[in-house]
Amino acid sequence: MRQARGFTLLEIVIVLALVATAMLFVLPFAGRGASSADLKASARALAAGLRTAQSTAMSTRRDALMTVDVDSRLFTFSGEERPHKLPTGVDLKLYTAQAEVESEKKGSIRFYPDGSSTGGRITVSSGERKFLVDVDWLTGRVSIGE
């Protein structure tokens, strides 16, 4: 009696067809959202912009703003004309003082010459992952949390 070794061509073709079918369902979901690196870089860029606005307020002895447009993922800060764009797939939420809200999707965080601010939070997210960029109203301290 002869013992068979390996797989037949038909078995290999069936397995490849099953794997290809599974990939059709998995791949569309794998590409959504931003990578962890993009998410963290976005949070750091926003924190750097907030710190720059605070420094500008303190050095010029005038109020300085960082304005965030949630829909277009753009932010600008006082002293900087060019807007900064965050990567596609990054979602933003802005929580700030009511006086600093320009529209439903656009608002600012204001820094005062003494370093304090109106305070607020920018949530940077993609799917279940998120970073919180917080601004303390009393000290103007900017921090990033998960």
In this structure, are residues 90 and 56 in contact, taking their beta carbons and an 8 Å threshold? no
H or E element: which one contains 43? helix 36-60
- pLDDT score at 137: 93
Task: Read off the pLDDT of each residue in 109-116 and give the average, rounded to a whole number.
Answer: 96
Work out the average pLDDT over 132-139: 95
For the chain, the average pLDDT equals 88
131: helix, coil or strand?
strand
Distance of CA 121 to the CA centre of its chain: 12
Please provide the distance, in angstroms rounded to a whole number, between the alpha carbons at the two ends of the chain: 65
- Summarize pLDDT for 33-54 with one digit per residue, the tens: 668 888 999 999 999 999 999 9
Q: State whether CATH 3.55.40.10 applies to domain 36-145.
A: yes
Instruction: Name the residue with higher pLDDT: 76 or 78.
Output: 76
